[in-house]
Each structure stands twice: as structure tokens, then as C-alpha cells.
Amino acid sequence: MAPIDLPDPGTHGSTSVERAIATRASRRSFARTPLELADVAQLLWAAQGLTHVRDGVEMRTAPSAGATYPLVAFLEVAPDGCAALEAGLYRYDPRKHRLEFEREGPIHDDLTEAALGQDVVRAAPATVVLAADADRTRRQYPDHGDRYVHMEAGHAAQNVLLVCASRELHGCPVGAFDDADLSAALGLPERLEALYLLPCGRPPADR
Ligand SMILES: Cc1cc2nc3c(=O)[nH]c(=O)nc-3n(C[C@H](O)[C@H](O)[C@H](O)COP(=O)(O)O)c2cc1C
């Protein structure tokens, strides 16, 4: 399957950062309407997109200890979850700002079960999955690498949730899952550990 180019991310939204902070909340219900590719592009860019180059290193939207950049963002798309995307698991390529198929075919039921059957995951048209290759950071920081990676996941997750707030999308951080079941559901390479789920979608019409 060919990679999917994403629309350029916006950097001049009409919502102030203060407004996004003030209106962010964990919202766990979603419309059945599919997400637009522009929404997906903005969410993934907020998680791990590129911003600028410093000393030859491509810097990202979320800070990283020693610019080691251990995080990898994935997008799980439920059946009919995004108008432009088939159901399955995609890997976000920050450098090319595009999606690559990681796993074809729906994994939505398995992902929901791995998240202990939580309705917020079941109902979401798409879920941003933050995973990490922690060795990248541990090599540079043997004593504190694990801690730093978890801190970074928090930074990236908050970016995603603030974009949800600014675009009037619903979203919720999900950290309650079974590690082994999640690993099996996603089928990621062994060096990557899934750390955080961020189910996102449009608000239900009757809210
Ligand atoms: C690390 C972490 C893990 C969380 N895991 C879950 C979860 O598995 N399921 C869920 O519904 N909410 C989860 N939440 C959301 C919290 O319940 C929510 O942030 C808290 O109730 C405060 O509400 P607010 O986010 O609306 O301010 C998690 C939040 C954090 C920070």
C-alpha cells in the first residue's frame, strides 16, 4: 500500500492557546461521522511533527530529552473512521508528514479489548497511539532514560489534546490497558513499546 501524503498542518489557527487550555477536558463520546484527513494531519503533526532544524537536527513539536526523539506516533483507524483512510494501523512519518500502513485490516476490536473494553476506545473513529523506542533515550541517559520517555509521551499527548480542543473535537487520554494485549493488537516491532492511547473524534450531535 502506497504512503498517504497528509495535508499541510496549520500553524495559524483561530483558537488561542489559552482558549484551548481552558476548554480541554477528557471527552469520551463521539459522533459516527468520520474524521477528515486534515484533522488527522493536525493531530499527528501536534504529536510528533517537525518544526525547525537546529544544528542539523530536525526538531519536533514536543520537547525531547537531548533531542533523542524516542516517540513514534501511530494512528488506528476504525472501520469508516476517516473518510480518506481504510481501517487499520498507520505509522506517522514526521519527516515526510505522511502515513505508512503499519498493519492492514481493522484492529479496532482488539485495540478496544486491550484497553480493557473501554467504551471511549470502542466509540472513537480514530486513536492516536504513542509508542517509544526507549533505547534511543536510555543510551544517552542510562539512569533517567525511562523517566524521560514517559515525560515526553505526556508532552506529545497534551499537544494532541489541545489540538482536539482547538478544533472542537472530542478526545481523551487512555493509559489503562493490558501491555501484552496492546502489544499483540498493534503488532509493533519488539523495540517499540506502546505508552499512551488518545481516542479522538467529532462530538456527538446531541451533546
Ligand atoms: C496518565 C493518564 C491515564 C488516563 N487513563 C484513562 C483511561 O484509561 N480511561 C479514561 O477514560 N480516562 C483516562 N484518563 C483521563 C482522566 O480520567 C482525566 O484526565 C481526569 O478525570 C481529569 O479530567 P480532565 O481530563 O477532563 O481534566 C487518564 C488520564 C491520564 C493523565
Residue 166 within any structural domain of the chain: yes
Report which ligand 1 atom has the smallest distance to the Cα of 176: 8
Q: Output the CA 175–ligand 1 centroid distance in Å.
A: 8
- The per-residue DSSP string of the chain comes to ---EEPPPPPSS-SS-HHHHHHH--------SSPBPHHHHHHHHHHHH-EEEEETTEEEESS--GGG---EEEEEEE-TTSBTTB-SEEEEEETTTTEEEEEEES--HHHHHHHTTT-HHHHH-SEEEEEEE-THHHHHH-TTTHHHHHHHHHHHHHHHHHHHHHHTT-EE--B----HHHHHHHHT--TT-EEEEEEEEEPPPTT-
Task: Give the tens place of pLDDT for each residue, 88-141.
Answer: 999 999 999 999 999 988 999 999 999 999 999 999 999 999 999 999 999 999
CA distance 5 to 85: 11
Residue 180 within any structural domain of the chain: yes
Ligand 1 cavity residues, CB under 6 Å: 25-26, 28, 118, 120, 172-176
Residue 37 within any structural domain of the chain: yes
Residues with Cβ within 8 Å of residue 80, at least 6 apart in sequence: 32, 34, 87, 125
Residue 4 within any structural domain of the chain: no
Contact 61, 73 (CB under 8 A): no
Residue 3 within any structural domain of the chain: no
Mean pLDDT of 20-37: 97
What is the extent of the structural domain holding 102? 19-200
Query: The CATH number of the domain where 55 resides is what?
Result: 3.40.109.10
Residue 137 within any structural domain of the chain: yes
Protein residue whose Cα sits closest to atom 27 of ligand 1: 25
Report which ligand 1 atom has the smallest distance to the Cα of 116: 8
Q: How many structural domains is the chain composed of?
A: 1
Per cent of the chain over pLDDT 70 is: 99
Protein residue whose Cα sits closest to atom 21 of ligand 1: 26
Protein residue whose Cα sits closest to atom 10 of ligand 1: 174
Q: Output the CA 58–ligand 1 centroid distance in Å.
A: 31
Residue 206 within any structural domain of the chain: no
Best residue for ligand 1 mutational test, from 172, 195, 197, 198 (most atoms within 8 Å of Cβ):
172
Mean pLDDT of 78-89: 96
Residue 36 within any structural domain of the chain: yes
